[in-house]
Amino acid sequence: MHTVYLSLGSNIGDKQAYLQDAVSLLGQNTAILIDKKSKFYQTSPVGGVEQDDFVNMALKISTTLEPTNLLEFIHEIEAQLNRVRKIHWGPRTIDIDILFYGNEQIFENDLIVPHKEVFNRLFVLVPLLEVLEQDFPYEQQVKQAIEKLKDTEQEVVEIPAQKPARKRIEHAVREILSAVGENPEREGLLETPERVAKMYEEILSSQKLTQFEEYKLFKIEKTAQDQTILIKDIPFYSMCEHHMLPFFGKANVAYIPKDGNIIGLSKIPRLVNYVSHKLSVQENITRDIAEILNDILEPKGVAVVVEARHMCVEMRGVKKGNSQTKTSFFMGEFEENRETRLEFLESLN
C-alpha cells in the first residue's frame, strides 16, 4: 500500500457537497482506503482568476493504485462531478490534486509529484498539516511554508462540516411539517422526510449538473432540401422556482440540420429531461432546450414550443384549473423565415 496525500477544492454550487461526494467516490474504490480527512476550509481564490471563494480539504489515503492509475480514477471522479475545464485555475465543481505519493518524485507530462504548487498554497498546506502522518519527510517544509504564507492575503478559515444534502432536506421537511401544525412523529409522517429527500434527488437530478453531455451526433447524406426534424409531444415534469410546485406538459422540438449533422433522436427527450429536472420557469425551459440544441448542433434553425399546466396557478392563488401555458422559442431560419415558422407551427396541430 502507498500513502498518498490529496488536496480537494470546489467553488461552484454546493461546494462542500461536491467535496463530500468526491470523498465517498474515492472510498468506493476497493483499492483505496481513506485514512484521514481534514476539516473543511473556506479559502480566498489563489492564482489571479476573479472567482468565488473555494472550499478546500485534504485527505490521507492508502492505495494499491499506481500513480497514473490513481490519476485516471481521479479524473473519472471529476468528470462524474461535472468538472468542466474552461479557464486554467478557474472555477470548478471539483478539483482533486495528488500532493505526495509516498516519497516518490514523479515527472510525467500530466503528473508532477510532489505537486508543483504544494508549498505556495495555504489552502493546501493548512488542511494537509492536519492529516500528515508523524515524521512525514516533508513535515518541516510544510510547517515552514505555512509560517511564510501566514501573512499573505491567502485566507484560510475553518468552517463547520455541513450535513450531506439528503440529511439537510430531511431536517428541513421535519421543520416544515411542524411549522404547518403537523406532528412529524405520527405514524403516516415518520418516513416522509426521507421520502421527500429521495424524491428531490430524483426530480431535481439536473440541479447540480453544469452541462448537458448525454448526446451522440451523426452525419447523414446532405439532403436535397433542408428537411425539418421534429420530435413532437415530449412529456416533461418540472418544479417552478417561485413556489416549488410541479408544472408539466409537452415539449415540441424541431431543427433544420446543417451539413448533414443530426443528433440521436432519443437525445432530444434526454435534453428536455436535463433542462426540466431543476427548479425553473417554463420560459427558461423553452429557451434552454433551444439554445443548448443550437450550441451542440449549430443547425440552420431551432424551434421549441412548450405547453404545460402549472400547479401554482391551479392549486393556489387564482386557482384556474386546467389552464394551459404555451411558450415558444425560435432560432435561425425559424426566427428569420415566417413561412418556415408557420409551417412548423401548423405541423403541431
Query: Which residues are known catalytic residues?
Result: 240-243, 282, 310, 312
Q: Which of 20, 56, 238, 286 binds ligand LPXRUNBV (CB under 6 A)?
A: 56
Shortest separation between residue 235's beta carbon and ligand LPXRUNBV, angstroms = 39
**Between residues 49 and 217, which has the closer beta carbon with respect to ligand LPXRUNBV?**
49
Q: Which residue, among 24, 75, 10, 41, has the nearest Cα to 208 in the 3D structure?
A: 10
Question: Does 240 belong to an annotated binding site?
Answer: yes
Please report whether residue 47 would count as binding ligand LPXRUNBV according to CB under 6 A: yes
Scan residues 74-133 and list those touching ligand LPXRUNBV (CB under 6 A).
85, 88-89, 95, 97, 117, 123
Stretches 45-53, 192-200, 256-264, 329-337: which one binds ligand LPXRUNBV (CB under 6 A)?
Answer: 45-53
Per residue in 50-82, is it b (16+ CB within 10 Å) or e — as a string? ebeebbbbbbbbebebebeebbebbeebbeebb
Q: Report in angstroms how near the CB of residue 100 gets to ligand LPXRUNBV at its nearest.
A: 14
Q: Which is nearer to ligand LPXRUNBV, 141 or 284 (CB)?
A: 141
46 touches ligand LPXRUNBV (CB under 6 A): yes
* Shortest Å, Cβ 164 to ligand LPXRUNBV: 21
Let me know: does 18 contact 82? Beta carbons within 8 Å: no
Interacting span for ligand LPXRUNBV (CB under 6 A) from 42-50, 66-74, 139-147, 298-306: 42-50
Find the residue with minimal CB distance to ligand LPXRUNBV.
9
Q: Is 115 annotated as a binding residue?
A: no
Place of cell 415566417: 338
CB 250 within 8 A of CB 236: yes
Burial 259-289 (b: 16+ CB within 10 A, else e): eebbbeeebbebbbbbbbbbebbbebbbbbb
Using the rule CB under 6 A, give the single segment among 39-47, 199-207, 236-244, 278-286 that binds ligand LPXRUNBV: 39-47
Contact between 71 and ligand LPXRUNBV (CB under 6 A)?
Answer: no
Please state the closest distance from residue 154 (CB atom) to ligand LPXRUNBV, in A: 7
Smallest distance, ligand LPXRUNBV to C-beta of residue 108, A: 13
Give the length of the chain.
349
Which residue from 4, 5, 6, 9 is in contact with ligand LPXRUNBV, where contact means CB under 6 A? 9
Stretch of 31-39, 41-49, 177-185, 254-262 lying at the interface with ligand LPXRUNBV (CB under 6 A) = 41-49
Nearer to ligand LPXRUNBV, 7 or 286 (CB): 7
Please, what's the largest Cα pairwise distance for the chain? 77
Nearer to ligand LPXRUNBV by Cβ, of 129 and 189: the residue is 129
CA pair distance 227, 215, nearest whole angstrom = 21
Binding residues: 240, 243, 312
Which residues lie near ligand LPXRUNBV (CB under 6 A)?
9, 43-47, 54, 56, 85, 88-89, 95, 97, 117, 123
Binding residues for Zn(2+): 240, 243, 312
